[in-house]
Structure 1
Amino acid sequence: MKAPRKLIENISIHGIGYIFLEHVSRYTRVFWSLVVLTSIGGLLFNNYVLYQKFNEVPDINVRTRQVFSNKIPFPAITVCTPLFAKHHLGHIYNTSTLLLKKGKPEVTLNLSIEEQNYLASNIHACSPDLSINLKYHVENRTDKNILKLLNESSLTLSEALINCGFKAFVTDCSYVFNRVLTDRGFCYSFNLQSFKTIFNENIISSDFHSYKRSNIRKSVSVNNPLINEKLDDSNEVLKWSLDRGYGKDHQDDSVPIKAEKGKFFAFNPYLNESDTKNVCMQIGNIFSFYIHLPNEIMLPMHQEHYVEFKRKREITLAAKSYKVDEGLRKFPPKIRGCYFEGEKKLKFFKTYTKGLCEYECMTNYTLKECGCVKFSMPRTSDTPICSVDNAECYFNSMMKWPDYQKTNDMFEATCGCLKSCSEIKYEVKYDKISSSENVMFVYNIYNLSKA
């Protein structure tokens, strides 16, 4: 059946008429048939390419809006002293210039067995070069329990911090700080979630029980702090998450505390310099502090901030909150480039963040390379802890780790550490530094966050 001439002449697509009109020659009709079919095929192929591209890399637009700061948590703050050792190691430091001579096993320090034991535990938190040098001086040690010796020789919370407070000052810093295990040794954390809500407690080694809070108060009263109740660490449930934010049952004194306008946090670091020595030969009595999410322990990849003893430093915090639209859940995590809550499980930690994922993967890499892990790495109770003899290996593995992430084809398959679909980033601004006997840190969050 021939198509009506009037209809064919009115078709706007050029070339169709040459296919169906009677007066057109056979060769012309074949030529235009091929042209039209090729055009339709090219159009369909182009649409297919665009569809595939959208599937692989969705076109995500970022929208910015302001939210009240009390919708996000005040950060966790972890404070570390310089690696100080108490009187146990007093004899070592008369020969500190010799310690700085790299790779000199013939240098004799004449250390007692006790001093060798304590030095062997402390140097794990030093720089790699110094640790490798110092290991030659602890060959006769008898006690190889790193954590026990590190705990005995490092400063307690009351020896390192005085007059701490959040909204109000108290003389006992254990009311707001918890002593925790980090790659810098034992440090002190504020506003950190409970052991039960951070770790998979049936898997993680009991060495990490230091994260169990023993004296943290729900709130602090200036007049009588003893009347305040302690946080119930054993029965605490998760009341905040990156994806869902705060639940309806969250109370003002629950951890993590909300970052409401005008809240401040402060503490006075302290050192009895006559009774402490710096194992790592760090220049100056410098305290380090790290600002991180309340559901993350302090990690090696967190930014380090400094303040010197007897120097006053004030900082202001601003926070930015990022959240991926729920509509992107239909795409696989690899395509959208992030994980929603519950999409990826970690072995040692209950909640997922990119930092915790990379820390677990770094631990697995170190275990594979050295047959042991650093004392602060997440591990099971039967995972070997590297001794001083293995220090060079695990330091080297940690130094090679960034390149391994970028160049190893198996990294993405074995680790797959994408960012979280909800993120909070804290920005630090230093206000002023001054000499002061009354040392104090002040943290204020007063800016609105962006989401």
Structure 2
Amino acid sequence: MPENSTKKRKKYPGCVKNFSDYFSEYSGNSSIHGIKYIGEKKRTIIEKLWWSVAILASLYLCIFTIIKTYQKWQSSPVIVSFARSPTPVWNIPFPAVTICSETKTKQSIFNYTDVYNRYEHGKNISTEENAMLERISLVCDSHLHLSGNDTIDYETIDFLAKVAPPFDEIFYECKWMNQIRNCSQLFTPTLSEDGICFTFNMLDREELYTNTVFLNGEYLHHETKSTNWTLEDGYPPNVGKDAYPMRAISAGQGAGLSVLLRLYEKDLDYVCRGPVQGFKVLLHHPAEVPRVSQQYFRAPLNQESIVAIKPDMMTTSDGLKDYHPHRRQCYFEHERQLRFYQVYTQKNCEVECLTNYTLDYCGCVSYHMPHDENTKLCSSGKTLCVYQASVSLLMDDINNKFTTDAQERNSTGHQECDCLQACTSLTYNSENSQAEFAWYKVFEATKANFQGLTGANLTSVTLFFKEMQFITSERNELYGPTDFLANCGGLLGLFMGFSFLSVIEIVYFLSLRLACNLKKYGRHYWSGSPELLEDDSYVHNA
């Protein structure tokens, strides 16, 4: 045969043949379990079908389990656990203590019982008495007097303070850190649903309220500024024991607050506030407004109340800052700005939401609610409307929680409160005990002077931290991106023998190796299979 003769050319392999050869090469080198049995040319159709079904079943179970893991990550990304170490009580402020007297009027100034009975029995009362009856009814039980004007002026608030037992008459003696202190330096008058109350260790109104709020008078104004304290960051490290809000340096009675309260028998009114006389006491956060009607404990007359305080603090790890607030179920301080309050807490948010709803519902707000100067204040004629507004808001929020349809959820006509918990929150629980306070027996036994105590009823309230340390709760990631990826990798490895390098391997065979083979051998030899390359029948003679 002549040397320059060419070998007989064979027909070029088609696309299907090339793909089959290329897949056989991939399956022979793949790290994924079972793939090599499908690509082996010597395997029968039955064997390949059996392995195909097995691989598809494993892939289905793997994908199903990964979807379940993803759903769990989306629905429950946060876990609440205990902190690694306890927190000493001096790292947190002593609770703000709000005390409200059940006696709203001094009988010598205005006898509410007498005027109310004459009004109810159709007897004549003067115009002045009727005006005072309407005003005092704002702080009495809400069902007593529902008639009158719709709005009031700021003189009504001054009147409530004028007829109430004065501060010096209510507070007989105060002790802080086992030292007798001037009560007026510890307690500040404030407004609440129960009228004029007095609060200890609360932020000044310039630090609590925004410039939007108009507050007539000197209520909640004590000019003591906080020492750069915030709920999230706590006290600065260079602040000593004289920090504000004040903090206890230890647990026990000697490091707490003791007050001796006084009411005179002649001023007690059993119509305005009912059969239980004495005081309401509320423990709350220094940056929260007191909601005495929602949560309180009683300090009855001639009783000694001992209150052991147990703080409950919740913090949130920095790893959750990138999560949406509704996924972690809390707001960081910079994420939610209220209109009326500088500090976001859940209770402040609820008060602001109720205020806005009441204004839309009744056209006015209660005298104790935050408001601007142009907002109207509700009088006794709107008492029932204010009560219905609070009930309606509560029912709307409950309905929204159980309604999935967005259109129906927005049909109430008001914006949802969306008052999630603050990511750093602090509440104060208490363990109370009471005993008879026979103070007059002591005076009689010691033949002490009863000056200023004739006809008086005394109540003693002592508050202190129960333990030196407490356990803080902390929100942490239950499933972070790394945990989710690790779970997916474990499932893929369990069902498929799949790893990250398996992905690299697939990408390599679909891109780099394919491109190199096409460049080197041409489009008819894209597989680069050794069997094809060794077969020179496919090679053109130059």
TM-score normalized with structure 1 length: 0.83
Match among 442, 464, 468 for residue 444 of structure 1: 464
Match among 53, 65, 73 for residue 72 of structure 2: 53
Cα RMSD, aligned residues only: 3.1
Structure 1 position 42, deviation (Å): 4.9
- 245 and 151 in structure 1: CA distance in 2 versus 1, 3 angstrom threshold: same
Match among 82, 107, 120 for residue 63 of structure 1: 82
Structure 2: how far apart are the matches of 1:79 and 1:106? 31
Structure 1: how far apart are the matches of 2:152 and 2:425? 47
Structure 1 position 387, deviation (Å): 1.3
Query: For 1:284-311, what per-residue CA distance to the aligned partner results, in whole angstroms no more than 9, with x for missing partners?
Result: 3221010001111202575211011222
Structure 1: how far apart are the matches of 2:342 and 2:185? 25
Query: For 1:301-329, what per-residue CA distance to the aligned partner results, in whole angstroms no more than 9, with x for missing partners?
Result: 75211011222221211212221111111
Structure 1 position 32, deviation (Å): 4.0
Matched-pair identity in %: 24
- 253 and 27 in structure 1: CA distance in 2 versus 1, 3 angstrom threshold: same
Q: 2:153, 2:377 within 8 Å by CA — same for their partners in 1?
A: no
Q: 1:181, 1:208 within 8 Å by CA — same for their partners in 2?
A: no
Q: Do structure 1's residue 250 and structure 2's residue 233 form an aligned pair? A: no
Partner of 1:125: 139
Match among 195, 198, 214 for residue 188 of structure 1: 198
Greater Cα shift, 85-94 or 327-336: 85-94
Structure 2: how far apart are the matches of 1:449 and 1:422? 15
Structure 2: how far apart are the matches of 1:114 and 1:88? 16
In the TM superposition, 1:37-436 aligns within 5 A as 37=56, 39-40=58-59, 42-44=61-63, 46-64=65-83, 65-87=85-107, 90-94=110-114, 98=117, 107-132=121-146, 135=147, 145-170=155-180, 172-200=182-210, 202-207=211-216, 209-213=218-222, 232-233=223-224, 236-237=225-226, 239-261=228-250, 262=252, 263-275=255-267, 277-278=269-270, 280-300=272-292, 302-408=294-400, 409-410=409-410, 414-436=416-438
Structure 1: how far apart are the matches of 2:94 and 2:102? 25
Q: Aligned letter for 1:211?
A: L
Structure 1 position 276, deviation (Å): 5.2
Structure 2: how far apart are the matches of 1:350 and 1:272? 39
Structure 1: how far apart are the matches of 2:150 and 2:338? 39
Query: For 1:431-450, what per-residue CA distance to the aligned partner results, in whole angstroms no more than 9, with x for missing partners?
Result: 33213236321111141211
Query: For 1:31-79, what per-residue CA distance to the aligned partner results, in whole angstroms no more than 9, with x for missing partners?
Result: 6436524643552454244235313420424124312111111100000
Q: 2:227, 2:239 within 8 Å by CA — same for their partners in 1?
A: no
Structure 2: how far apart are the matches of 1:106 and 1:303? 31
Give secondary structure in 2 for the equivalent of 1:402: helix
Structure 2: how far apart are the matches of 1:122 and 1:46? 65
- 442 and 350 in structure 1: CA distance in 2 versus 1, 3 angstrom threshold: same
Q: Aligned letter for 1:328?
A: L
Q: Aligned letter for 1:426?
A: Y
Q: 1:311, 1:439 within 8 Å by CA — same for their partners in 2?
A: yes
Q: 2:313, 2:425 within 8 Å by CA — same for their partners in 1?
A: yes
Greater Cα shift, 287-296 or 263-272: 263-272
Q: 1:126, 1:280 within 8 Å by CA — same for their partners in 2?
A: yes
Q: Aligned letter for 1:199?
A: Y
Q: Aligned letter for 1:274?
A: K
Give secondary structure in 1 for the equivalent of 2:333: coil
Q: 2:213, 2:340 within 8 Å by CA — same for their partners in 1?
A: yes
Greater Cα shift, 322-331 or 431-440: 431-440
- 93 and 127 in structure 1: CA distance in 2 versus 1, 3 angstrom threshold: closer
Q: Aligned letter for 2:278?
A: I
Structure 1 position 140, deviation (Å): 13
Consecutive unaligned residues of structure 2, counting only runs of 5 or more, are 1-20, 401-408, 440-457, 473-542
Greater Cα shift, 185-194 or 53-62: 53-62
Partner of 1:218: none
Structure 2: how far apart are the matches of 1:42 and 1:241? 50
Greater Cα shift, 239-248 or 185-194: 239-248
Structure 1 position 90, deviation (Å): 4.2
Q: Aligned letter for 2:96?
A: A
Structure 2: how far apart are the matches of 1:119 and 1:19? 93
* Bigger CA radius of gyration: 2
Q: Aligned letter for 1:449?
A: F
Structure 2: how far apart are the matches of 1:26 and 1:142? 92
Structure 2: how far apart are the matches of 1:268 and 1:23? 98
Greater Cα shift, 383-392 or 257-266: 257-266
Q: 2:282, 2:292 within 8 Å by CA — same for their partners in 1?
A: no
Q: 1:75, 1:293 within 8 Å by CA — same for their partners in 2?
A: yes
- 140 and 188 in structure 1: CA distance in 2 versus 1, 3 angstrom threshold: closer
Q: 1:89, 1:277 within 8 Å by CA — same for their partners in 2?
A: no
Give secondary structure in 2 for the equivalent of 1:268: strand
Structure 2: how far apart are the matches of 1:109 and 1:25? 109
Number of equivalenced pairs? 418
Give secondary structure in 1 for the equivalent of 2:335: coil
Q: 2:150, 2:379 within 8 Å by CA — same for their partners in 1?
A: no
Structure 2: how far apart are the matches of 1:9 and 1:246? 63
Instruction: Kindly indicate whether structure 1 or structure 2 has the higher relative contact order, using CA contacts under 8 Å at least 6 residues apart.
Output: 2
Query: For 1:160-211, what per-residue CA distance to the aligned partner results, in whole angstroms no more than 9, with x for missing partners?
Result: 11111212454742121111111110100001111121111x2101327411
